[in-house]
Structure 1
Amino acid sequence: MSLVRVVHTTAFTYGSPVTASYNEARMRPVDDGRQTVRSARVTVSPHTWTDSYRDYWGTAVTIFEVLKPHEHLEIVADSTVEVSAAAPDGADAPGWEELGSAPVLDAYPAFLAPTSTTAVPDDVAALALDVASGLAPGEAAEAICRAVRDRLDYVPGVTTVHSPASDAWRSGQGVCQDMAHLGIGALRSVGIPARYVSGYLHPQADAEVGVTVVGESHAWLEWWVGRWVAYDPTNRRFAGDDHVVVGRGRQYGDVPPLKGVYAGPGASDLEVTVEMTRLA
């Protein structure tokens, strides 16, 4: 278990004044059986009102608008989270027949159907089916994610967050959201419910308490085999206490850290930083 502070700063600088801006931020970590949020706040400059709600997928959303002219917009999410390592699969995990039963299909339709960014080519589905042969669902899920990951090189800038998984597959290159989307699509193709996870990854497992380091916005996935199991395909391992969950959904489009519209110039400079500090 670890106690981690995350400071996520997003700053826009515009070439000329923006007259109005309407936004929603998904930057507050979740509270669940693996995480406890000790404190969390989202501040906006220029100062404005904020409100919050939970979206359909259970993610905390902060909404705000800035209705006075501004050339700079900064959003800072400052959170302290207690995180426990994920547990391995239990012995009571369901078999393939149970995964294909009506109760499971009725409970998880959103995490079994392909989406615009998780639909995989036929050869990925064939690979997943071949890898899963003879394995229990939990073992198969890890093997499928590893098999897909082994065919991709981690190369930033080749894709965008909205690129279809097939783009990364064809090029053999991508980043964490591509590997998550591909893994999710491959798992769904063999009947294992899977969902996208957005959050932060502490980059230094041996970082000293109190030392602030440059962290990372990160994406991984969870599959359901009687319970949700968190796995990081990019790093080929189960999620640990260095993974901080912010949101879950079908794909990246359900959990973007920030989205909105504004009235003003068509171009802006964007700067994003994530700072992470182990507190215990």
Structure 2
Amino acid sequence: MRLTVRHKTKYRYETPLANAMQQLRLTPRNFAGQTVIEWSIDAPGISRATTYHDAFGNIVHMVSAHDVIEEVEITASGIVDTEDKAGIVGEERGDMPPPLVFTRLTPLTQPNQAIRRLGAIVQDHDDQIAGFHALMHAIRDKVDYRVGVTETHATATSALNAGEGVCQDHAHIFISAARSIGVPARYVSGYLLLEDEHASEAHHAWAEVHIEGLGWLAFDISNAICPTDHYIRLTTGLDSRSAAPIRGIRFGGTDENMNVEVEVEQTASQQQQ
């Protein structure tokens, strides 16, 4: 499937910015089932950006703005070909961190006894893949999808206790449960074309676990499926903080207001085939 993406983030401030530096993890990589045809980023300072790969293999553009401004707009857009691999990413080559890195606990993924009990669901299955499918459904049954009930940096334990949250919360709980039984798990941020719409506003998150002999396998807990060709994988990390598409620091500027718009469409050429 050929998908087009337009991801626009706009910041507005009551008082002008004196300076700002931002890490833009807004460029998807090629991997099994995903090929980037074209991609571009439009942002203040992008022409003089420093580009590198972070510790998790994400492509990063470091940009800085020195002008006194009250509004910052960042737009990433492009075309990506996707293939349904039933969630299988497999083993990744190149300068990627070893799976063991993703057993590390973070403040957002620290387990409690309730999360350890969820992890035990996997251990109750002879087939580990079936166990993770059971874990996915158990989390979805316990935590309703509801927007606006959890904070941006809510922890896995607080979301599970609340019994409701968004895709980020589902992913954190799943990752925490997997790591509690020693299985490498990582957070994924990306885009999703919804089944019932031609165009979708959907900046999405899911999780991947490393299965011995298979490699990385993805689970979208919020939709209770393994990602298909409707998904574009953008960043990976230990949790939502390390996989955040945009991170930065600023000097000056008060009362920040942020607005994010994401459009994902299937291209007409593919629809006609």
Q: Structure 2 vs 1, CA of residues 134 and 68 (structure 1 numbering), >3 Å: closer, same or farther?
A: closer
Equivalent residue number for residue 210 of structure 1: none
Equivalent residue number for residue 38 of structure 1: 37
Q: Secondary structure at the match of 1:244?
A: strand
Equivalent residue number for residue 189 of structure 2: 198
Q: Is the 2:168–2:240 contact (alpha carbons within 8 Å) kept by the matching residues of 1?
A: yes
Deviation of 1:126 (Å): 1.7
Deviation of 1:88 (Å): 6.5
Deviation of 1:275 (Å): 1.1
Deviation of 1:128 (Å): 2.6
- Consecutive aligned runs of 4 or more in structure 1 exceeding 4 Å deviation: 45-48
Q: Structure 2 vs 1, CA of residues 189 and 71 (structure 1 numbering), >3 Å: closer, same or farther?
A: same
Q: Structure 2 vs 1, CA of residues 113 and 21 (structure 1 numbering), >3 Å: closer, same or farther?
A: closer
Equivalent residue number for residue 160 of structure 1: 151
Deviation of 1:33 (Å): 1.5
Opposite residue 197 of structure 1, the aligned amino acid is: V
Deviations 1:135-176 (A, max 9, x none): 311111111121122100112222223221001011111110
Identity of matched residues, %: 29
Equivalent residue number for residue 249 of structure 1: 237
Does the alignment pair 1:11 with 2:2? no
Question: Gaps spanning 5+ residues in structure 2: where?
Answer: 91-96
Q: How does 1:209-224 map to 2 (within 5 A)?
A: 213-224=199-210
Deviations 1:78-99 (A, max 9, x none): 121111112367xxx9xxxxxx
Query: For residues 145 and 241 of structure 2, what CA distance do their matches in structure 1 show?
Result: 21
- 234-243 vs 13-22, which deviates more? 13-22
Query: For residues 138 and 116 of structure 1, what CA distance do their matches in structure 2 show?
Result: 26
Equivalent residue number for residue 129 of structure 2: 138
Query: For residues 276 and 55 of structure 1, what CA distance do their matches in structure 2 show?
Result: 26
Query: For residues 156 and 163 of structure 1, what CA distance do their matches in structure 2 show?
Result: 13
Q: Structure 2 vs 1, CA of residues 18 and 238 (structure 1 numbering), >3 Å: closer, same or farther?
A: same
Query: For residues 137 and 230 of structure 1, what CA distance do their matches in structure 2 show?
Result: 13
Opposite residue 153 of structure 1, the aligned amino acid is: D
Q: Secondary structure at the match of 1:6?
A: strand
Opposite residue 127 of structure 1, the aligned amino acid is: L
Equivalent residue number for residue 25 of structure 2: 26
Q: Is the 1:26–1:60 contact (alpha carbons within 8 Å) kept by the matching residues of 2?
A: yes
Query: For residues 75 and 149 of structure 2, what CA distance do their matches in structure 1 show?
Result: 28
Deviation of 1:50 (Å): 2.2
CA RMSD of aligned residues (A): 2.0
Equivalent residue number for residue 98 of structure 1: none
How many aligned positions are there? Answer: 259
TM-score (norm 2): 0.88
Equivalent residue number for residue 139 of structure 2: 148
Question: Gaps spanning 5+ residues in structure 1: where?
Answer: 94-105, 208-212
Aligned residue among 243, 260, 266 for 1:272: 260
Equivalent residue number for residue 79 of structure 1: 78
